[in-house]
Structure 1
């Protein structure tokens, strides 16, 4: 494999490591103990680094000479657009119950002290991790639209990380919400909705 693709895999590994490591409650507590009141800006720093890594990866992958794995066709292009559009809709709906400024860190806050509400309405009433589901569809759509080795790596690294990411995120949510989240887990699937019954 060309070294460019090896670097791409490494960059994704760094992104996902950052995503999980600095979202950990234990790491957050250690950061807070170290920086004290400045911890109010921790979310903004986390979001900023994650954004730079994420967009940097796609900028870098754009510099790699395309290595087509499939012959592009109108059908693949249409499916790609359709999946990406559907994924984008899911992402937009998944953020409707969040404060954009708080989520990004533009509103300084101590997320170790402020307990957020467990969201079980809207799209979260059908799947527990709509952001991940939306990204799967967008990345898969991108691969069908541009079936290169680089875009396959984007999808592959996401799918490899998901079991780890979901496990760590749910471990954190169980620690925060306890029995309420355990009940939510039993009622609502992680990524693929089953029927139309909502949690409640």
Structure 2
């Protein structure tokens, strides 16, 4: 069982990771680099992804070393439900990838084009899952997190990651509002952020009309 000091240290490492991640994803940092170091911009997305992978290794390693007996375990029908939700979440991630430009997501496209501006890297995209929630990957991530059995280290990590996904979605939307204005504001009014609601969604035709600017 990890000590209180170890759990606090784990929480701090997660917080530092998310602080750096949010800062590097901000428009302020991108604009500063575009103005002062434009040669870096074609590499920015690729370097951002590599740094994110590198920096997440310490909290994941701590999570592994601090593993202990679970605080709770899913039993019976709840266990089957948890496993089913996990499988659906993973399948949702895999299925949704077909609606993303993987080269742009990884940063390969920006490097190939020698792209130095920042706005073109933030295109508004409404995939099938985006018609039901504005941040489908965050929603699927929350499902994966909270269907796990929890020991103290996992619970601390789950709480911090959840808080970051909620706060991070708000910060991301502030950026999207600056880039897309009324288009994104209308989208916010029609589609929930993280938790799907049966009465708030866009049909495929409505999403197409919105992206074409005809729903405003």
Instruction: Give the TM-score, by structure 2 length.
Output: 0.81
2:209 corresponds in structure 1 to none
**Bigger shift: residues 53-62 or 167-176:** 53-62
1:91 corresponds in structure 2 to 93
Q: 1:6 to 1:54 in 2, by over 3 A?
A: same
1:198 corresponds in structure 2 to 202
Q: Does 1:152 align with 2:152?
A: no
1:114 corresponds in structure 2 to 120
1:31 corresponds in structure 2 to 33
Equivalent-residue separation in structure 1 for 2:70 and 2:41 (angstroms): 45
How far did 1:72 drift?
5.9
1:13 corresponds in structure 2 to 15
**Bigger shift: residues 132-141 or 81-90:** 81-90
Q: 1:72 to 1:174 in 2, by over 3 A?
A: closer
Structure 1: stretches of 5+ with no match in the other structure: none
How far did 1:76 drift?
5.2
2:146 corresponds in structure 1 to 140
How far did 1:117 drift?
3.6
| Runs of 4+ deviating beyond 3 Å | 71-80
Equivalent-residue separation in structure 1 for 2:190 and 2:46 (angstroms): 33
Equivalent-residue separation in structure 1 for 2:51 and 2:32 (angstroms): 18
Q: 1:100 to 1:184 in 2, by over 3 A?
A: same
1:80 corresponds in structure 2 to 82
Equivalent-residue separation in structure 2 for 1:55 and 1:80 (angstroms): 26
**Bigger shift: residues 130-139 or 83-92:** 83-92
Render the CA deviation track for 1:59-117: whole Å, top value 9, x for unaligned.
22111141421256455543432232222223234433211121121331445142554
Equivalent-residue separation in structure 2 for 1:63 and 1:23 (angstroms): 29
**Bigger shift: residues 186-195 or 87-96:** 87-96
1:120 and 1:184 in contact (8 A); partners too: no
Instruction: Give the TM-score, by structure 1 length.
Output: 0.87
**Bigger shift: residues 45-54 or 65-74:** 65-74
Q: 1:7 to 1:166 in 2, by over 3 A?
A: same
> What SS does structure 2 have at the residue aligned with 1:87?
helix
1:126 and 1:193 in contact (8 A); partners too: yes
